[in-house]
Amino acid sequence: MAATGSIYDLIPQQEVRQPKQPRYISKFREPVKENYFTYKGDHKTMGQAKVPVPTTDNFLKKHSKEPQLPDKTEFKYPDESRRRPHVPQKDDKPLMGLKTTKNFITTNAVQNITSVPKKPEKIYVDTKKGDKNLLDPSGLEPKFIHKKEYGSTPQYLTRRQEEMKRAQEEYNAYVAEHFRRGAMQQLTADERDSILRGLKQNWEEIHDQYQGLSVVTDTAPKKNRKERMEAEMKQLERDIESIQKHHVIYIAN
């Protein structure tokens, strides 16, 4: 014992022993002992004495240890009456006796190639989980056939047509007034064609001269001549385009 600094520790104390816990004894001990001593004598020889000796007829035969399977029966579906009939075999003959020369494979291929692809339905998603709904009955897509002015000419087109008609009438009145006073005359078709041919001939002559110019324009006269020819050809092209665009041409006197 460790000293605590007291004089009473010098007096010898009697050792106190702790009682031991009772030993565990299984409740199956007695039945096991009884069973062991009861059948112990049966195994003093080679095996149990009361086991019958096998006869010569009871020998191991082939496939005797294999499991015995039930007899084979025809399988039938539970819904046999509601199932579709089998696909006809190659050698089956149709009951109606009809024959056709139509090539269904080629017909189906041509039909699929020439068919218009189906347009997907318009949908909208209204939740973060991706729930989809049709857009047509939702009212989110405008339908112009339900508008009051659907099928009628827009007002701006009507105003534009009226303005164009009024401008054409004013122009016709202006031309008629100048014709009456003799201040304007109209070119005939022959005169128009003659002027057009002359403009094209002048453009070809200048173009031939332009093709004969030097590639290097290292002097001021060469550069000025080239620019002058380009300006003349552009002006002739504008005149030719203007005459070709208008079939009726007026000339002021």
The answer on pLDDT for 185 being more than 80 is: no
Is the separation of the CB atoms in 183 and 252 below 8 Å? yes
Is the separation of the CB atoms in 253 and 183 below 8 Å? yes
- Nearest Cα to Cα of residue 236 among 188, 197, 189, 190: 197
The answer on pLDDT for 3 being more than 80 is: no
The answer on pLDDT for 164 being more than 90 is: yes
Helices (H) and strands (E) counted in the chain, each on its own, are 5, 4
Predicted confidence (pLDDT) per residue in 109-159, tens digit: 999 999 988 888 889 998 888 899 998 888 888 888 878 888 888 889 999
Mean residue pLDDT across the chain: 84
Predicted confidence (pLDDT) per residue in 58-104, tens digit: 888 888 888 888 888 888 888 888 888 888 888 877 666 667 788 99
Is the separation of the CB atoms in 251 and 187 below 8 Å? yes
- Percentage above 70 pLDDT, the chain: 90
Q: What is the pLDDT of residue 47?
A: 59
What are the sequence ranges of the domains in the chain? 122-182, 184-252
Is the separation of the CB atoms in 165 and 230 below 8 Å? no
Q: What is the DSSP string of 194-244?
A: HHHHHHHHHHHHHHHHHHTS-S---SHHHHHHHHHHHHHHHHHHHHHHHHH
CA distance 80 to 4: 98
Mean pLDDT of 168-182: 80
Mean pLDDT of 34-53: 68
Strand partners, 125: 132
Q: What is the pLDDT of residue 49?
A: 60
Q: What is the pLDDT of residue 11?
A: 80
Pairing of the two strands 123-125 and 132-134: antiparallel
The answer on pLDDT for 247 being more than 60 is: yes
Mean pLDDT of 215-233: 89
Better pLDDT: 56 or 109: 109
Among 49-58, 109-118, 168-177, 191-200, the range scoring the smallest mean pLDDT is 49-58
pTM recorded for the entire structure: 0.35
Is the separation of the CB atoms in 121 and 134 below 8 Å? yes
